[in-house]
């Protein structure tokens, strides 16, 4: 497991178990923010790198400070403002960051309450901090995609251009997802009219509108569930023939036993990559030590390895020829690595 992933899991457990004790900014800094910065490779004990209580005279607000300024190669690049964990992060909490961003060389700002981390930059106007974050994550609920974004902020690989290259997409994708989520829970009158006008020809009176609002809300959820069921059913159907073959132990490995967990893990991996590569090309080959998920049943095209024959379970992920073994607490955690699995599948997507 990578250092940043280990650290985030430890921080997540701390937040889940001790959030009631993080009622002050200082508690959040000590229990969450400093360990988080350390996980990114910054020396929190070096005040020339992680500057606490940073102040800039040009701001014009006497005594006003931001909690931390991160220096990279001697220049301030990241500003951080902390709030107690009970505080709901809002636009008004950006005031200090907004002023300091303008008068320093900072390119990014982080606003956090110890659980939620909001990342900001100046996508809309140069040297003026956006009011909406381009990246948001909950430290108690992260996945492989979030880890990939956080790694861009590591001290050893910090690259402003690389971060900005995806920042705009992240910002607006996040915004659109939030709007869709709102529509699912509370469809607007305009949206209800749009989706119902092709199925209902009468006048949209109050009673009809109320009826269709409930119908649209339920239909939205059913569409999502149907999509999930369709993917799983397809993966199960494509998998059945392969599983039947694997159930017969190979002659050269008579002690190999394919477990239900390995079968389920294989199905999950296959379902994750089915939109990236044909499910028919994804095969399972079990061995004594691990269960391999291969493309075209070819050992030289590994997609993943399921190391389940032990007390601590791992999934082996591949970046090129190198395997990265990551601890998983349950089969559900395979979904945390969906993006890496899809990236690996893309390399084999061209027909063999």
Contact present, 100 and 106 (Cβ < 8 Å): yes
Contact present, 283 and 348 (Cβ < 8 Å): no
Q: Which residues fall within 8 angstroms of residue 78, CB to CB, at 6 or more apart? A: 69, 70, 72, 106, 107, 108, 109, 110, 153
Prediction pTM value: 0.56
Packed helices 206-246 and 189-196: angle between N→C axes, nearest 10 degrees: 70
Q: What are phi and psi of 302, to 5 degrees?
A: -75, 135
For residue 301, give both structure tokens: 């095209």
**Distance between CA atoms of residues 274 and 236, nearest Å:** 11
Encode the chain (352 residues) as per-residue pLDDT tens digits: 457 888 899 999 999 988 888 989 999 999 999 999 999 999 999 999 999 999 876 555 666 788 999 999 999 999 999 999 999 988 888 888 888 888 888 999 999 999 999 999 998 888 899 988 999 999 998 888 888 889 889 998 898 888 887 887 877 787 787 788 888 888 888 888 888 888 888 888 888 888 888 888 888 878 777 776 666 665 555 555 555 554 554 455 456 788 888 999 999 999 999 989 999 999 999 988 899 999 999 988 999 999 988 778 889 999 877 888 888 888 888 988 999 999 999 988 876 5
């Amino acid at each position: 497991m990578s250092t940043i992933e280990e650290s985030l899991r430890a921080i997540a457990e701390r937040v889940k178990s001790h959030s009631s004790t993080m009622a002050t900014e200082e508690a959040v800094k000590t229990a969450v923010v400093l360990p988080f910065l350390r996980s990114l490779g910054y020396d929190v004990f070096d005040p020339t790198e992680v500057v606490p209580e940073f102040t800039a005279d040009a701001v014009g607000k006497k005594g006003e400070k931001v909690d931390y300024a991160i220096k990279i190669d001697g220049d301030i690049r990241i500003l951080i403002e902390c709030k107690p964990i009970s505080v709901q992060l809002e636009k008004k909490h950006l005031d200090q960051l907004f002023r300091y961003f303008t008068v320093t060389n900072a390119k990014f700002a982080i606003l956090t309450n110890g659980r939620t981390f909001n990342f900001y930059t100046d996508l809309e106007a140069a040297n003026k901090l956006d009011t909406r974050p381009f990246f948001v994550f909950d430290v108690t609920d992260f996945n492989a995609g979030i880890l990939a974004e956080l790694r861009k902020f590591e001290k050893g690989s910090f690259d402003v251009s690389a971060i900005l290259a995806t920042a705009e997409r992240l910002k607006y994708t996040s915004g659109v997802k939030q709007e869709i989520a709102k529509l699912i829970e509370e469809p607007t009158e305009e949206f209800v009219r749009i989706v119902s006008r092709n199925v209902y020809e009468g006048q949209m009176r109050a009673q009809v509108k109320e009826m269709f609002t409930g119908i649209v809300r339920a239909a939205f959820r059913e569409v999502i569930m149907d999509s999930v069921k369709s993917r799983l059913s397809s993966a199960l159907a494509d998998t059945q023939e392969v599983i039947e073959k694997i159930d017969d132990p190979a002659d050269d490995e008579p002690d190999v036993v394919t477990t239900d967990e390995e079968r389920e893990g294989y199905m999950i991996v296959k379902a994750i990559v089915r939109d990236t590569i044909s499910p028919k090309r994804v095969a399972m080959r079990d061995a004594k030590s691990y269960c391999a998920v291969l493309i075209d049943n070819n050992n030289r095209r590994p997609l993943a390895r399921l190391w389940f024959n032990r007390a601590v379970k791992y999934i082996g992920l591949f970046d090129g020829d190198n395997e990265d073994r990551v601890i998983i607490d349950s089969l559900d955690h395979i979904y945390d690595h969906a993006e890496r699995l899809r990236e690996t599948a893309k390399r084999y997507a061209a027909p063999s």
